Structures are given as C-alpha cells and as structure tokens.
Chain A
Amino acid sequence: MRFRLMVLLGVLMLCISPFLISRELAHGQSTQVDNARSALGQAFGLVQEADLQGASIDQISQLADSLNLALRYEENATRLGSDLYANRSLELSNATAVQALGDSNAARTQSVFDQASGYSLAVVAGFGSALSVLEIHRLNDIVRKIRLRRIRLE
C-alpha cells in the first residue's frame, strides 16, 4: 500500500516536473531581463550626470550609442525571452556606466581647473592693471628719457 502510494507520488511528480522547470526558467529569465533593465536605467543616470558635469559632445554621443545598443539587446531579450541578450545588455550597460563615471570625474576636474584658471587670471590681471595705473607716471618718465637720449645722439 505504501509502495503504491510512493509510485503514485513519483508519477505525479514526473507529470508536473516540466511545469515546475518551465516556471523556474521563466522566473530566471524575467529576473535577467529585470536586471538588464535596471542596469540600463542606472547607466543612463551616470551618463546624464557626466553630461551635466560638462563631458564633451563626442563622449556623450559615444555613450549614447552604447546605451542604444544595450537597449536593443534588452528589447530582444524581452521579445525572445533570451538570457543571452539580457546578459549582453547587462554587460554593455555596466561597461557604459564605468566609462560614464570616468568621463564624469574627468569633466568635473576639468571644470574645477577651468574655473581656478579663469579666476586666477582675473586676479593677476587686476593686480597688473592696478600697478599700471599707479606707475603710469614712471612709464612716462622712461619714455621721455629715451626720447632725450635719441635727441642727444642726433
């Protein structure tokens, strides 16, 4: 009796196993696609940050091309239910995010350098201008002396 029950349970398990496996696969697939989608959103956030920090148009265009390719992979993954495309999308999104982070840091450094250079130049020019105004009479004296020397030589 117990043996029969075990056999019945075994047969029942065999019958429902394909459903269990396919559900597990489907769940895994949707997780992969969800991860790819999430990575794409995060990569976009970092690219936008790099753009706002002042990364060059060429850099942003290149990052946008990568994001668009990752998006096509993600769409294929969703349409075909393919883990391969989902993984490709995820890898490309992560690579783009890393590149965007580098570009963002470089743009921020460049921006700080530009500002420091600009304001330093303003202070130096201010110093030079103030000095010129105060010492203009000495310049006139020098010019007068040169003229006198020329006249004497003639």
Chain B
Amino acid sequence: MQRRIIVFILLFASFSLVYSSIAYYALSKPPAQEFMAWGVFSPSGTLSNYFLGSEANVTSGKSFDWHFAITNRMGSIQYVQIVYRLGNSTSSSPNATASGDSVPQLGNSSIFIPNARTALVNFTWSFTKKPSPGGSVYINMTINGQLVSPSVSAVAGQKFRFFFELWTYDVASNSFQYGYRGQSSWVGVPLQVWFNVV
C-alpha cells in the first residue's frame, strides 16, 4: 500500500510538472522583437516621386501633400513625435544614435499609436523664396498651415534637405527621447529628402 502511495505521488508530481509547463507556455506572451518602422510617402502613396515627376526641383509656391506612415511594434501603446528640420549639403545628419540638434527645427507633430497599428500623419508644405544678396538662397515655408522662416540657406538653391526624426515619449523621464527604446539602447531612425529650389 505504501509503495502504491509513493508511486502515486511520483506520478502526480510528474504529470503536474508536464501540465504546468503546458499552462505556462499557453499563458506566456510569445517573444517578439520590438521595433518601430516609418516612412515618408508622396501624394501617390509611394516612397518615391515626391515632387510629381520633376526630379528634385521644386518651384516656389507649389504645395506638396506628403504623409508619414508609422507602425508601432513595441508591444504597447506609444506616444510618438515627428520632428522636422531643414538642412543643406553641409549640415550634419541625424543618425542611429544622435539627433540633428545642430540643424534648426521647423516644427513637430505628435500622435498616440496603439501596438500593432499604423498611423498616418499629414505633412503638407510649400515655400517661397526670400530675397537675399549673394548666391545663397533662403526660403520661407508653410508646413501644415504654420509659417516658418528657416535660418538655413543653400548655394543657388541647390541641395536643401528635410530631416525627419522619430521621437518617443519616455514615461520614466517625462520627456521625448530620440528614436525608440531598443533591447539595450535607444535606436534612432531618421529620414531625409533632398530638393532643389528653382
């Protein structure tokens, strides 16, 4: 009888262990790589043809309706901010670890994006040339209805470029941080679009 009890306890422990492992597997969240992906889209909804067939030459007064598509795969809702900057050929570009702080900011747009969703953010812009002496060209811009006067110029209006940066809100520091929180560090994913003013 005593032997039977011992056998029963051993069997009970073994079966419980196996079934508990199955329960743990069923109740656990599947592991997933956390990331954020985004792009700047032209009016035709593509990642090209931003200037409607006119290469990168843009005429003063013409309006462009672009939009950003931002996908959140971070495993939880994110508070995202897109920062716009205007640079030229000599400006230092933002990269995976550092934002383009040395380049003046034109503005920003913010949005809350639930996990596994893609959000669209409009970016409508136009410009007018600012009269300036010498060969440098300065421009006034209207971005999403807001008038801005960037301090950046380009020689003969060539090689202006937009820098777009993605920032995410960090609850611990109560502030936006450049990029998104990766496994070991913050990951910056900047975008840029070149254009010439004609």
Contact = CB atoms under 8 A, between A and B. Distances in A.
B69 interface: no
12 contacts: A48-B77, A48-B78, A61-B117, A71-B110, A75-B110, A114-B27, A118-B23, A122-B19, A123-B20, A125-B19, A126-B19, A134-B7
A119 B19 CA distance: 8
B35 interface: no
Interface of A: 38, 41, 44-45, 47-48, 51-52, 57, 60-61, 63-64, 67-68, 71, 75, 114-115, 118-119, 121-123, 125-127, 129-131, 133-134
Nearest to A117: B23
Given A51-B77, A68-B112, A134 B8 contact: yes
A126 B26 CA distance: 17
Interface of B: 4, 7-8, 11-20, 22-23, 26-27, 75-79, 110-117, 169, 171, 174
A51 B76 contact: yes
A129 B11 CA distance: 8
A122 B16 contact: yes
Contact of B11 (A44, A64, A130): A130
A127 B20 CA distance: 12
Nearest to B79: A44
A134 B23 CA distance: 24
Contacts of B23: 118-119, 121-122
B111 A71 contact: yes
A126 B111 contact: no
A41 B171 contact: yes
A63 B114 CA distance: 9
A130 B12 contact: yes
B27 to A, nearest CB: 5
A67 B11 CA distance: 53
A42 B113 CA distance: 16
A44 B11 CA distance: 49
Q: Which 10 A-B pairs have the closest CB atoms?
A: A126-B16, A122-B19, A130-B11, A126-B15, A118-B23, A130-B12, A45-B171, A129-B15, A51-B76, A67-B112
B169 A41 contact: yes
B8 A130 contact: yes
A67 B16 CA distance: 45
B174 A41 contact: yes
B80 to A, nearest CB: 11
A15 B84 CA distance: 42
A71 B112 contact: yes
A127 B12 contact: yes
Contacts of B16: 122-123, 125-127
B22 A60 contact: no
Contacts of A71: 110-112
B15 A64 contact: no
Contacts of A67: 79, 112
A47 to B, nearest CB: 6
A41 B176 CA distance: 10
B112 A64 contact: yes
A123 B18 CA distance: 10
A71 B113 CA distance: 12
Contacts of B174: 38, 41
Given A121-B23, A126-B18, 10 more contacts: A45-B171, A48-B78, A67-B112, A122-B19, A126-B20, A127-B15, A129-B11, A130-B12, A130-B15, A134-B8
